[in-house]
Structure 1
Amino acid sequence: MLYGKSLKYLFHVIFHPFDGFWDLKFEKRGSLGAAITIVILTIITLSIEKQGTGFLYNMNRLSELNIVVDIFTIVLVYVLWCTANWCTTSLMEGKGRMIDILIAVGYSMAPIVLIRLPLVAVSHFITSNEGSFYMVFKTVSVMWALLLLFLGTMITHQYTVKKTIVTCIITVVGMGIIMFIGLLFFNVIGRMITFVATIYKELRFR
């Protein structure tokens, strides 16, 4: 499917998730390129939000913002969820391939872009009395994205609601385990490098 049409298909997915996610997988109405584009747009949106939100609603210190950290965090969460979900569903008779998961999760992020990016501009024109509406829309964007993630998981793997809930819980636990193993691995590698460097210095200066 053409990239432009697959990207535009996000509007169908967010408003008709049952048909949308089904067509993403079985009718190939989406694409990995479009999903990654949505992830990139999410990163851009959250970065703009931190830096460009009106001062009444911006609790961030601009001097402490680091776009590299924002990029790394979102990409890490995206990759961890997809990896942990694939590992979990492979053991629980899930029907989705890794590429299906990557696409479904990417499209699930669309509400964050579509709602929170316009909110950045709106935040400069609303008063503190109207702040409750601002916060409601921010919350809706996250809840909508999480709902899409849940439905995308259920439809991609052809699970029941109960099995999807269990799968999501195990996926979150799996993300934690992968992070722990990763940190442990890099810690061991760091110690090995330090040990080798120490031995090298000892042999060199003797």
Structure 2
Amino acid sequence: MKQDFIKFPLHLILHPFDGFWDMKFESKGKVRVSLAILLMLVLTVILQKQFAGFLVNFVDPRGLNSLDDLQFTVLPFFLFCVANWSITTLMEGEGKFKEIVMATGYALLPIVLINLPITFISRFITQEETAFYWLLNSVASIWFILLLFIGIMTVHQYTPAKAVLTLALTVVAMGFVVFLGTLAFSLGLQIYWFIYDVYREIIFRT
């Protein structure tokens, strides 16, 4: 259990080439661990918005909604996994869907590990020290992107150039899915109101 939840994830983010290779070919990764990391990310995002110091926290506390944080964290995660699986299936990728989920989940770990302490520290820093807060935020994001790139490249056995191409196409596919989903929702809403108006008209006339 300790190997699954602590030792291997830390090994992976510090030695990503070896870690992702072991995840794919030595079966050391676990889907439940990647989902646990995703859940911890949601928690750290909520804590950051609610408890980060006022010098770095520009969120209106009256508009905070934990369900929105859950929605805007979990949905993009699975949208990315589905889009990447769809694109790489067409581009001879060797990765399975669960391997994409694991690679993406493990890549999120640096954000989790950095967000929590800087949220606490931000309550005590001065205006001049806020630069370190944003620097650590940037380090976490860059670390995540690098891990995701290496993970996708290893899982699908791609060259660096092909991994970059598939990641770019994945982002395009995500935008396309969001567009279609928004369009379908809008059309569904219009159909609903049309039927509702017809129903009211019939009721009034009878």
TM category, shorter: over 0.9
The answer to whether the 8 Å contact 1:7/1:35 transfers is: no
Matched-pair identity in %: 41
Greater CA drift, 99-108 or 189-198? 189-198
Distance 1:138 1:115 in 2: 7
1:103-114, aligned counterparts within 5 Å? 103-114=102-113
Distance 2:199 2:88 in 1: 46
Per the alignment, residue 139 of structure 2 pairs with 140
Per the alignment, residue 89 of structure 1 pairs with 88
- Say if 2:188 is the partner of 1:189: yes
| TM-score, L = length of structure 2 | 0.94
Amino acid at match of 1:5: Q
1:92-171, aligned counterparts within 5 Å? 92-171=91-170
The answer to whether the 8 Å contact 1:52/1:120 transfers is: yes
Aligned residues: 204
Shift of 1:62: 1.0
Amino acid at match of 1:36: L
Query: Cα deviation per residue 1:88-142 (whole Å; 9 max; x = unaligned)?
Result: 0000000001111111101110001101111111112322222222211111001
Distance 1:60 1:205 in 2: 47
Greater CA drift, 130-139 or 172-181? 130-139
Distance 1:153 1:41 in 2: 22
Per the alignment, residue 70 of structure 1 pairs with 69
Amino acid at match of 1:84: A
Distance 1:193 1:131 in 2: 49
Shift of 1:167: 0.5
| Structure 2 residue corresponding to 1:6, chosen from 4, 7, 13 | 4
Amino acid at match of 1:22: W
- Say if 2:33 is the partner of 1:40: no
Query: Cα deviation per residue 1:178-206 (whole Å; 9 max; x = unaligned)?
Result: 00011111112212222222222233332
The answer to whether the 8 Å contact 1:96/1:157 transfers is: yes
Runs (4+) of structure 1 exceeding 3 A deviation are none
- Say if 2:170 is the partner of 1:174: no
Distance 2:24 2:187 in 1: 40
Query: Cα deviation per residue 1:48-68 (whole Å; 9 max; x = unaligned)?
Result: 111111122222221122211
Distance 2:203 2:124 in 1: 66
- Say if 2:20 is the partner of 1:21: yes
SS in 2 for 1:168: helix
Shift of 1:171: 0.5
Amino acid at match of 2:132: F
The answer to whether the 8 Å contact 1:95/1:158 transfers is: yes
Greater CA drift, 11-20 or 189-198? 189-198
Shift of 1:166: 0.5
Greater CA drift, 88-97 or 48-57? 48-57
Amino acid at match of 2:3: K
